[in-house]
Amino acid sequence: DHIGHWNWNKLIGLGGLLQKRLINAVNEFYKQRGSWVEFTEKQRRYAPRWKRMVDDYENRRSTRNPYISPIDGIKKLEEAGLTADSDEGSDDDDVLPELDTSPGEFLFFGLEIEQQQRELRYDIEAIRAPTNKQLTYMVDRRTKLTRQIRRFRALQLAFMPVALQVISTIPPSQAPLNTEDISLYLPSQLSSSQRPSDLSGIEIRLREGQLNESLNQLRRVILVKQRLLRYKKINARNQGTTTRTCGIIKQQDKKIELAAAAYRAAWDAKLHLLNGDYSSLGWNKLLDEHIVGMEDLQNAERIRAKAAKGNRAEAQRRTLAGEDPVPGAREKNRVASWIWCGTSQGDLETDKALYDGLQTEWCKAYA
């Protein structure tokens, strides 16, 4: 009986199959639990409250689903100043500091110029075929930025004369032509023997605040983008509404890239000020794969599309081989990125969007 023999071989082969599944399940358990424990340790203040929410929902004592972030309409996002009009910089404000300023204000002014250079560089690279109006706007921004750099050089003569000596040794052929590419020569851009010790300590504290602010901004904008994607999928219809929504989502992508660039610049600067001492840095390095949101609908659509095309077998093969599974095969292997595991300085409950996002991610990790 061929069918009986085939069934018998299948039955006696279940031992190896179940053993393989058990080993994979144990490895995945320790991986997921380690990520959840780290997440919980950094959210000790809110984790008990979130755990009660999950238990109440699973035991049917509550109808609120803790695994789904609340859906806010586009009007609420506009009221919060997180959509199209919120990223308009204050380019009209051309307030320059006085010459009799403090060292902290001097360095803070330098960090502001550095941020404006990043934004201007990003805008210039993003426009492939600029119009005459856009070219005029870019020239105006460069002119204002040049004026600020000149004032910064005047302050630098009083606080950091060694930086001007370094600038004077640069040959004219190597000097940058564009304003957004000019190096400010802050203490973090000088060698340990050249930088003043008092200014180095001040910049370390300023970079610490910049790391905290840029990380919070990065997480906040990722959450806003996630809700905009959900709004677009559920409510946006017809060409006009869809086009406007896509434009707003594109602006959030710009904010994400600028926040990530600010974090990386602050991370590199603080590491240089600490002479390469990673143990005293206190912040993780931000890579592109770390900038992931919670329930990114664009990625979710990609997951379903690839899984429907027969990539499940390929994902299983790569997982058994110790490689990363095919992106989009399933979500059960996903762990929370480190940017969501801990909160920075400040009260988390004052930022409703960030609080809801962290709550949703923790509940998923706990489940």
Domain residue limits at 39? 1-77+334-366
Exposed, middle or buried: residue 92 (CB in 10 Å: 0-12, 13-18, 19+)?
A: exposed
Same domain, 25 and 69: yes
Give 10-66 pLDDT, tens digit per residue: 888 888 888 888 998 888 888 878 877 877 887 778 888 888 888 888 888 888 888
State the pLDDT at residue 84.
41
State the pLDDT at residue 232.
77
User: What pTM was estimated for this model as a whole?
Assistant: 0.69
Give 67-98 pLDDT, tens digit per residue: 776 554 444 444 444 444 444 444 444 556 66
How much is the mean pLDDT over the chain?
78
Q: How far does Cα 220 stand from its chain's mean position?
A: 9
State the pLDDT at residue 324.
53
Q: What is the percentage of the chain residues whose pLDDT exceeds 70?
A: 75
Where is the domain boundary, 185, 214, 235?
Answer: 185
Number of domains in the chain: 2
Give 338-363 pLDDT, tens digit per residue: 787 755 544 455 556 667 777 777 78
What number is the average pLDDT over the span 181-186? 91
Check: CB of residue 255 under 8 Å from CB of residue 87.
yes
Q: Is residue 301 part of a domain?
A: no
Give 267-277 pLDDT, tens digit per residue: 999 999 998 88
Where is the domain boundary, 160, 185, 210?
Answer: 185
Where is the domain boundary, 135, 150, 185?
Answer: 185
Same domain, 104 and 180: yes
Q: Maximum CA pair distance of the chain?
A: 98
Q: What is the percentage of the chain residues whose pLDDT exceeds 90?
A: 21
What radius of gyration do the chain's Cα atoms show? 26
Rounded distance between C-alpha atoms, residue 153 and residue 163, angstroms = 9
Per-residue tokens: 180: 């957004």
CA nearest neighbour of 80 among 71, 92, 72: 72
Rounded distance between C-alpha atoms, residue 243 and residue 239, angstroms = 6
Give 277-314 pLDDT, tens digit per residue: 888 888 889 988 888 875 555 555 565 555 545 566 66
Q: Is residue 146 part of a domain?
A: yes
Is residue 221 predicted with pLDDT exceeding 80?
A: yes
